[in-house]
Amino acid sequence: MKVTVLKNEKKSKKSTNSIFSSILLLFLGIILTFRSEELISTVFSVIGFLVLLYGVYKFYSFYKLKQQFQTEDSELLMNGLLFIVLGLVVILLSSFFANAIKIVTGIWLIFLGMQKIYTSNFYVHLEKREFTTNFIAGLILLFLGIYTIVAQNVVFVFIGIALIIYSVLDLFQQIFKK
């Protein structure tokens, strides 16, 4: 009697996909940690380019319809022009949108910090520990909000750090598992 051993190819393929996705997440985490503004600006540029392509497609559809059936669909023409202009605006203002996200995030963090500090005032006479933790958390949020507006978006940096930690742990798990 002859016994044939088959390797589990699904398992090795799944492991390879997991390693690839971990490396991709590590790369994304590094970019978010050190170049978050450039990444956001690039994402807006790509979105603008896709919107521009969609507008060109609508514009092309208008002329194709006009040639084939000698009829005009003004909705296609208007949609095409609108999406072309919108795509160009998003491409040209991608840095502006990235900065706007940074400023809005900073203002949001400052608001949360002020709210924490205001809430801590209610604990001054009741519980000293609650007052201290809320006050310190409020000061940290205020600092992070100001830092986000002036320097770099800390929310994206924290997301990048979390992605780096997750991907490194996942890579170690994949490499050293039995």
- Render pLDDT for 96-139 as a digit per residue (tens, 0 to 9): 998 898 899 999 999 999 999 998 888 777 777 888 888 999 99
The reply to whether the predicted model has a pTM over 0.75 is: no
Whether residue 145 contacts residue 109, with contact meaning beta carbons closer than 8 Å, is answered with: yes
In a domain, 14, yes or no: no
In a domain, 178, yes or no: no
Q: State the pLDDT at residue 8.
A: 53
In a domain, 94, yes or no: yes
In a domain, 13, yes or no: no
In a domain, 25, yes or no: yes
Amino acid at 58: K
Q: State the pLDDT at residue 27.
A: 93
Q: State the pLDDT at residue 137.
A: 92
Which residues of the chain have a pLDDT value below 70?
Answer: 1-14, 178
In a domain, 41, yes or no: yes
Structural domains in the chain (count): 1
- H helices of the chain, in order, are 9-34, 36-69, 74-92, 94-120, 128-150, 154-176
In a domain, 73, yes or no: yes
Q: State the pLDDT at residue 131.
A: 83
Q: State the pLDDT at residue 111.
A: 95
Domain residue limits at 61: 19-173
In a domain, 119, yes or no: yes
